[in-house]
């Protein structure tokens, strides 16, 4: 499995997930940069994502929704603060209402993605989630954020395996 570590740090209001892949940093970056690839792993397997809007540039925005097994939907957005291909992203993530407006009843999260080569052909990706308050962190963890992200990130190996030789 690609997820090698999950650390929850309530004192610093962070949850950090570390993954390792048999791929180059450039290939791992494509998992974020290509919305069709992102749709294959963003969200747990039973809640696949769709990204109708995807602008991964500083100042850009992405809009997405995840569809559950019963057809129910959960939607959100990303505001891209920093994008330095193929190594680094800073994104503010939040929920939206069915009409596409921001849902401020649910807390958002900021996350940083660092992608680095650890040896030839192997890459480490660190996803650090930062919460505004302990209550926000607890709310999102109670909603299953850690389990959902672990399942989502766990889908990446199959995507990378399928692209070998392509």
Task: Give the pLDDT score at 162.
Answer: 85
Task: Give the pLDDT score at 2.
Answer: 86
Q: What is the pTM of this model?
A: 0.92
- Residue-range domains of the chain with CATH: 3-163 (3.30.530.20)
Task: Give the pLDDT score at 164.
Answer: 52
Task: Give the pLDDT score at 149.
Answer: 95
**What are the per-10-residue average pLDDT scores of the chain (166 residues)?**
90 98 97 97 94 98 96 96 98 94 95 96 97 97 95 95 62
Cα→Cα distances 108→19, 131, 136, Å = 23, 7, 8
Closest CA to 114 of 87, 146, 141, 140: 87
The DSSP bridge pattern shows strands 14-21 and 122-130 to be: antiparallel
């Amino acid at each position: 499995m690609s997820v090698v570590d999950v650390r929850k740090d309530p004192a610093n209001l962070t949850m950090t997930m570390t993954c390792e892949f048999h791929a180059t940093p450039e290939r791992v970056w494509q998992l974020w940069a290509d919305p069709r690839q992102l749709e294959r792993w963003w969200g747990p397997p039973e809640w696949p994502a769709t990204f109708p809007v995807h602008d991964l540039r500083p100042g850009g925005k992405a809009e997405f929704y995840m569809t559950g097994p019963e057809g129910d939907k959960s939607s959100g957005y990303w505001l891209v603060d920093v994008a330095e291909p193929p190594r680094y992203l800073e994104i503010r993530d939040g929920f939206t209402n069915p009409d596409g407006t921001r849902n401020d009843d649910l807390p958002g999260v900021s996350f940083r993605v660092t992608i680095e080569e650890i040896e030839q052909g192997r890459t480490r990706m660190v996803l650090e989630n930062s919460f505004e308050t302990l209550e926000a962190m607890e709310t999102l963890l109670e909603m299953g954020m850690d389990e959902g992200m672990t399942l989502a990130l766990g889908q990446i190996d199959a995507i990378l395996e399928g692209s070998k030789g392509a």
